[in-house]
Amino acid sequence: MAKKRAGGRLRRALIQAALAWIVITAVPVLLLRWVAPVTSAMMLEAKWHALGAGERDYRTDYRWVGYRRISPEAGIAAVASEDQTFPFNHGFDLQAIEEAIRTYERGGKLRGASTITQQVAKNLFLWDGRSWVRKGIEAYLTVLIDVLWPKQRVLAVYLNIAQFGRGIYGVQAASERFFHEPASRLTADQAALLAAVLPDPVHWHVERPSRFVLWRQQWLLHQMADLGGPAYLRGIGPPEPAARAGRIRRN
């Protein structure tokens, strides 16, 4: 009898702990459906590494803009580059994951198959790394984001926190830094060039693109056209209210 009571208490404790974890994690994710993030884990980690390396001149340039203040070309360029099934998947691209596993089993390099939703979960909340613990938390947060946010919000947050260069986060900061124009005026060529560096913004540069980056830009322009241009994203949700453009954080 005593063992049964102890087992019952343990089960209740585990259930309560699980419910507490869900509430603690779901509430911030739900709030960010409407509230602009002040910063991200990725920005903080980059700042920390720069300070640790003695880079006193390092600055974080991050400026939030609402979805309607971003050129539609930027959205389709990011989708063409990072997650072409974005309008239809539920946070994970299962076909891409299966292909990556098959490539690895055949002796190839294990490549990423992260969707835009997964990248938002990782960049917004998590540390860099490849541990199974981090990947497990990333998968859990990806499910939360997919359930609690409309697609348009996912893409808006991604475009605002993605890194485009050293200390440069979001299309507004990148557009003003590289093209001296707000994100609302990005052309297809400019958006494709920004998206071309997304896989490795530390080593690939918008301001001095290598031949490979220029090749990726042209490849992305073809992909954007093949997908149907910005019209490809018309079904991801109603327009969100226009947000006032401005610098959220520069430190």
Residues 71-96 pLDDT 10s: 999 999 999 999 999 999 998 887 77
Q: In what order do the strands lie in the sheet with 61-64?
A: 163-165, 168-169, 61-64, 246-250
Nearest Cα to Cα of residue 175 among 17, 52, 24, 62: 62
**pLDDT score of 129:** 76
pLDDT at position 112: 57
Structure tokens at 24: 């603690």
At 245 the pLDDT is 40
Q: How many residues are present in the chain?
A: 251
Strand-pair partners of 61: 168, 250
Asked whether residue 164 carries a pLDDT value surpassing 90, the answer given is yes
Task: With CA atoms as reference, report the closest residue to 128 among 60, 41, 6, 24.
Answer: 41
- Range with lowest mean pLDDT among 23-37, 171-185, 208-222, 227-241: 227-241
Least trusted range by pLDDT, from 130-134, 143-147, 176-180, 243-247: 243-247
Question: CA–CA separation, 235 vs 87, rounded Å?
Answer: 7
**Is the pLDDT confidence value at 208 over 60?**
yes
pLDDT of 233 strictly over 60: yes
- Are the beta carbons of 112 and 198 closer than 8 angstroms? no
User: 23 versus 234: which is more confidently predicted?
Assistant: 234
CA dihedral angle for residue 84, residue 213, residue 134, residue 98, rounded to 10 degrees = 40
- Residue 246: pLDDT over 70: no
DSSP for 162-209?
A: -EEETTEESHHHHHHHHHSS-GGG--HHHHHHHHHTTT-TTTS-SSS-
Of 22-26, 68-72, 121-125, 169-173, least confident by mean pLDDT is: 22-26
pLDDT at 101 (0 to 100): 61
102: pLDDT confidence band, cut at 50, 70 and 90?
low
For residue 217, the model assigns a pLDDT of: 98
Sign of torsion, CA 27 126 95 163?
A: positive
Domain residue spans in the chain? 38-49+56-250
Residues 97-107 have a mean pLDDT of 62
Which pLDDT belongs to residue 22?
A: 82
Q: Please tell me the least confidently modeled range out of 23-37, 104-118, 130-144, 199-213.
A: 104-118
Give kind and range of the element (H or E) at residue 128.
none
User: Which of these CATH numbers, 1.10.3810.10, 1.20.810.10, 1.10.357.10, 3.40.50.300, describes 38-49+56-250?
Assistant: 1.10.3810.10
Q: What is the pLDDT of residue 4?
A: 59
Residue 241 predicted with pLDDT over 80: no
